[in-house]
Structure 1
Amino acid sequence: MSNLSKLNALMCGTGEYTTGWTGSGASKSDKKIGVVGLTLFDLRRLGKVDKLSMVGVSGGKYPAIRQHLQDNIAGAYKDMDISFDAYPEEGKTDPLAYKTAIDKLSAGDAVIIFTPDNTHYDIAMYAMERGMHVLVTKPAVQTLTHHNELIAAAKKHNVVCFVEHHKRFDPVYSDAKARAQTLGEFNFFSAWMSQPKSQLETFRAWAGKDSDISYYLSSHHIDICCWMLQDKAVPTRVVASAATGIATGEPYNCVPQTEDTITLLVDWQSLKSPRHKGTAVYTASWTAPLKAGIHSAQHFYYMGEKGDINVDQAHRGYDVTVDDTGKAWYNPFYMKYSPSESGHFDGQRGYGYISIEKFVDAARSVNAGETTPQDYDTHGLPSIANTVLTTAILHAGRISLDEKRPVGIKQSGDQWILE
């Protein structure tokens, strides 16, 4: 093994997923102390990461965020260094602070983007043009054109660009993907993912305005389906339908165009057999009941020529009942927050952690000259090149809703385009 140097990383976005801190205080979801910051602080403890920085729009949040991290991470685990440089400065508000923060980095450093969907493209492009590796949360971008441009930029600047599709590292989903390969031609896929109505309060600033529930939640299952069907079938047509009325009413009062539940019906064509066509239905909602005992309802059904697969990752045969709050189904595979016997962070096997660590490992390997960014396109990892069909389906779904028509997906040369 050659001498891999430690990776410096900038976290873009200071919200729930990065720090566990929301505008109204500590998150009440299953990400109470965040995922990105905690993972990077631990990877620094383990010698993979060095300097860390964080950028948001408002510098006023940092005193509360630092106190939250001190109490819940440094105070909860041994040997956890939670230091980071912050942009913009305290007391300043600057939507373009990410440029200042990226300009302080060097080529080969990493930029990890967990910001509203409509900002991903600008930040990712700015970072890659300066030679930085990029990990962007799902959905990577909102348009197929932007996705194609990021593929080209990653190639041109020879950097790693991954999309943080962490469900690929869920042990059940990755096992299902392997088993699907033995079931012959694809026939039918149905997926449901929902979150409780309380999310509309968390996301009120952008819900319906800057993105929709299909981009935000269905991106998980659309990516899983595209991954399962990689080199087996391609999507050819999308028709979308939406339910409305809850998000736009009291007490949520989201903007008038906000959908509650979005369903995409997608036609798939086998690459090996002209007579085999498949259908997929992807539904996502942020108006699920409040006290269902789960944060994300998530299940899918896959039927192939020779068998089927049924996955329920909301009810894992593991439930806990508490007098005050009732019954809850937990997800022990995602993030483990209880410390180890020695008092250290102990969540290195969670798929929320693994997803970020895989990116850090890839960036370090490329920096050391051991691998090239293109190598990862063949690994089944969610590289920007490997995830283009997910964006094609999501974008086609948005056009179908807005223009009330079916939208075709086809290949033109080496690029995917919408019709």
Structure 2
Amino acid sequence: MAGTLKNLNVLMCGTGEYTTGWTGSGASKSDKKIGVVALTLFDLRRLGKVDQLGMVGVNGSKFPAIRQHLDENIGNVYKDFDLSFDAFPDENKVDPEAYKEAIDKLAAGDAVIIFTPDSTHYPIAIYAIERGIHVLVTKPATQLLSHHNALIEAAKKHNVVCFVEHHKRYDPVYSDAKARAKTLGEFNFFNSWMSQPKSQLETFRAWAGKDSDISYYLSSHHIDICCWILQDIAVPTRVVASAAAGIATSEPYNCVPQTEDTITLLVDWQSIKSSKHRGTAVYTASWTAPLKAGVHTLQHWYYMGEKGDINIDQAHRGYDLTFDDTGKSWVNPFYMKYSPSESGHFDGQRGYGYISIEKFVDAARSVNAGLSQPSDYDAHGLPTIANTVLTTAILNAGRISLDEKRPVGIKRDGDQWILE
């Protein structure tokens, strides 16, 4: 018999910019100065959806500075926040596998939210799922299609919610565009651009080029949006990748020799309903954009269908500010709202960065109460692990194409997608 909704215990895996707004060199200089994950969970606890919180990193010595940062920039800004959380590992320890100890302290039905370097997503997610823990993992879910398929099977076996944090699906403009694309007939062409300033190479120097690349990190956003739009229209069949290099590996960034600056994936799409209709998609991402472009993330895409097109510029939303010291900047109030409400409380519940986390918390609580099944959410257009498999297939194929200098095929083999 279905029970009542109980508050969810959540472990945050990762202590960096997106979780806390804190980087190794201090508070982030990006548009996420006080983070997204911890702030959202503190608010969901205030609103009665979340209970106990934990946070796990690799180096426990960071936690005093993180707690001070959260106290100063969240506790002193918003009313009625409980900022308490359990920290792993201990302050005097460095332990790359501290996530195991932290997850072992959870109970089945609790949740983890994973914002760690791309190469660590799979081992953390599979460890949690096999213990009956619900998982929200940032994009890319995994770097290998085989790992993504393994997470799909494990989540099904253990009957847990596993979502990928593709928050762009909750952007009101993108979700409106998806609905309108359904009226445009067969797919013909898609082109996306996403970039961040060269300063990100300093933020990500510890892993840039070693553990992941700019395509996994940034193109995952728009590849997922394209896959989401084309969910019942077309499937990808072939990927060819090309990369520019030379900036990230030079002064002052000095990233490892294999680090690319800008990566482009050219993808063939085959119509599901019509053998004669094929489409082309071009996805480009860069982390060597100019430093003072007035926006942290430049992002736009173009979609052309049989009966019309869609053109979206999500960097310039018709809303710009000018400051004497920094010049003109374009802002995005739809993602996270950091200014307090009239009563002094956090007021960002309508931002799509917040909604993305809240949807996962709501789903996990509903499954725990017996009110829904994890598989129900596959039919809702939400970024479940099952609904995002083609995004990983394209990204993985792109990496193989760069490394092996060849086209890579994508095809269905029984109930799984595989690479050729």
By the TM > 0.5 criterion, same fold? yes
| Equivalent-residue separation in structure 2 for 1:168 and 1:282 (angstroms) | 17
Deviations 1:278-328 (A, max 9, x none): 000000000000000000000000000000000000001000000000000
Match of 1:151?
A: 152
| Equivalent-residue separation in structure 2 for 1:221 and 1:278 (angstroms) | 16
SS class of match (2:356) = helix
Match of 1:172?
A: 173
CA-CA distance at 1:91 after TM superposition: 1.2
| Equivalent-residue separation in structure 2 for 1:93 and 1:256 (angstroms) | 27
| Equivalent-residue separation in structure 1 for 2:40 and 2:282 (angstroms) | 34
Is the aligned partner of 1:140 residue 2:118? Answer: no
| Equivalent-residue separation in structure 2 for 1:114 and 1:406 (angstroms) | 31
| Equivalent-residue separation in structure 2 for 1:208 and 1:63 (angstroms) | 30
Is the aligned partner of 1:323 residue 2:328? Answer: no
For the 8 Å contact 2:321–2:329, the answer to whether it is kept is yes
Match of 2:247?
A: 246
Paired amino acid for 1:245:
G
Match of 1:187?
A: 188
1:23-172 residue pairs with structure 2 within 5 A? 23-172=24-173
CA-CA distance at 1:231 after TM superposition: 1.5
| Equivalent-residue separation in structure 2 for 1:290 and 1:55 (angstroms) | 32
CA-CA distance at 1:129 after TM superposition: 0.3
SS class of match (1:238) = strand
Identity in percent: 84
SS class of match (2:281) = strand
SS class of match (2:225) = helix
Deviations 1:377-413 (A, max 9, x none): 1100000000000000000000000000000000000
Match of 1:20?
A: 21
Match of 1:4?
A: 5
1:205-354 residue pairs with structure 2 within 5 A? 205-354=206-355
SS class of match (1:237) = strand
| Equivalent-residue separation in structure 2 for 1:299 and 1:193 (angstroms) | 7
| Equivalent-residue separation in structure 1 for 2:82 and 2:19 (angstroms) | 16
After TM superposition, the score normalised by the length of structure 1 is 1.00
Q: Which runs of 5+ in 2 are unaligned?
A: none
SS class of match (2:325) = coil
Large movers: runs of 4+ above 6 Å: none
For the 8 Å contact 2:3–2:370, the answer to whether it is kept is no
| Equivalent-residue separation in structure 2 for 1:235 and 1:378 (angstroms) | 20
SS class of match (1:385) = coil
Paired amino acid for 1:340:
S
- When the two chains are superposed, the root-mean-square deviation of aligned CA atoms in Å is 0.6
Is the aligned partner of 1:402 residue 2:410? Answer: no
SS class of match (1:78) = coil
Is the aligned partner of 1:380 residue 2:393? Answer: no
CA-CA distance at 1:13 after TM superposition: 0.1
| Equivalent-residue separation in structure 2 for 1:2 and 1:322 (angstroms) | 53
CA-CA distance at 1:2 after TM superposition: 5.5
SS class of match (1:181) = helix
Q: Which runs of 5+ in 1 are unaligned?
A: none
SS class of match (1:223) = helix
After TM superposition, the score normalised by the length of structure 2 is 0.99
| Equivalent-residue separation in structure 2 for 1:152 and 1:2 (angstroms) | 27
Deviates more, 1:79-88 or 1:1-10: 1-10
| Equivalent-residue separation in structure 1 for 2:304 and 2:411 (angstroms) | 24
